[in-house]
Amino acid sequence: MMDFQVSFKVNEKIYLRDPESTEIGKQIVKNAIDLIYELGFEHFTFKKLAIHISSTEATVYRYFENKHRLLLYILNWYWCYMEFLVDFKLQNITVKKDRLQIIVSLLTHGLPESTGQFDYNKKYLNHIVITESNKVYMVKEVAEINKDEVFKPYKDLCAKIASVIADYKPSYKFPRSLSSTLIETAQHQQFFKSYLPKLTDSPTGKENDFVYRFIADFLFRTLA
């Protein structure tokens, strides 16, 4: 998969200062991705991030209120990136089944590892989404958080995939529910395959295309 260098405007209510507006802001996000990938979100702290970038906790707090807001920013950027990839990959594809298969492939395969100084590492981003994403919306305050439309990029991606499903089979009554189910199931199965393989039908966890084959089978049987 080709590696893209892109930037997106993330909901300003997520951050205190736009990290894309300064070099140190970009380094905060880039290195947060690296550290969350390395340590896990539970063990990630602003103090560790500040040390990693040779800065101070106060500097990090100028951009984000807490680490949950920083994780939410990272996930929003990822969902914007995924919607960009869907648009890019489908732009010249007219066969409706092929369009769905491309989407399934995007949802079930890792992204390339970025090596640029200022690029967010897409491989690490993908891993964080699989292992940490439910921590931003499976919280008691989700309804209150949602009022600020901070989940809009995720909803937009779901809506885009739902439109491709509806185009493939207009009579299907649940395209949005199927879309969000595909995304969540793809994440869960990738996690299980890597860490709890006996919860899948890829018991060794080494079958590269297992999740793609499972999601594609599930999707087209549902739409049959």
How many helices (H) and strands (E) in the chain? 10, 0
Task: Give domain status of residue 51, yes or no.
Answer: no
Q: Is residue 65 pLDDT above 90, yes or no? A: yes
Task: Give domain status of residue 57, yes or no.
Answer: no
- For the chain, what is the largest distance between any 2 Cα atoms, rounded to a whole number of angstroms? 57
| Domain encompassing residue 207 | 75-223
Percent of the chain with pLDDT over 70: 95
Task: Give domain status of residue 186, yes or no.
Answer: yes
Q: Give the integer Cα–Cα distance in Å for 171 and 37.
A: 42
Q: Is residue 1 pLDDT above 50, yes or no? A: no
CB 173 within 8 A of CB 181: no
Task: Give domain status of residue 79, yes or no.
Answer: yes
- Locate tokens 């969902």: which residue? 79
What's the whole-number mean pLDDT along residues 153-180?
97
pLDDT tens for each residue of 103-158: 999 999 988 776 565 588 999 999 999 999 888 777 777 887 888 888 899 999 99
The helix/strand/coil state of 18 is coil
Task: Give domain status of residue 217, yes or no.
Answer: yes
* Confidence band for 184, pLDDT divided at 50, 70 and 90: very high
Query: What is the predicted pLDDT for the residue at 118?
Result: 57
CB 194 within 8 A of CB 186: no
Task: Give domain status of residue 177, yes or no.
Answer: yes
Closest by CA to 182, choosing from 203, 162, 199, is 162
Say how many domains are in the chain.
Answer: 1
pLDDT tens for each residue of 37-62: 999 999 999 999 999 999 999 999 99
CB 39 within 8 A of CB 17: no
Task: Give domain status of residue 182, yes or no.
Answer: yes
In the predicted model, what is the mean pLDDT of the chain?
A: 91
- Tell me the two tokens of residue 51: 């040390």
* Confidence band for 4, pLDDT divided at 50, 70 and 90: low
Q: Which amino acid is at 37?
A: Y
Which has more pLDDT, 205 or 110?
Answer: 110
Q: Give the integer Cα–Cα distance in Å for 56 and 33.
A: 17
Task: Give domain status of residue 178, yes or no.
Answer: yes
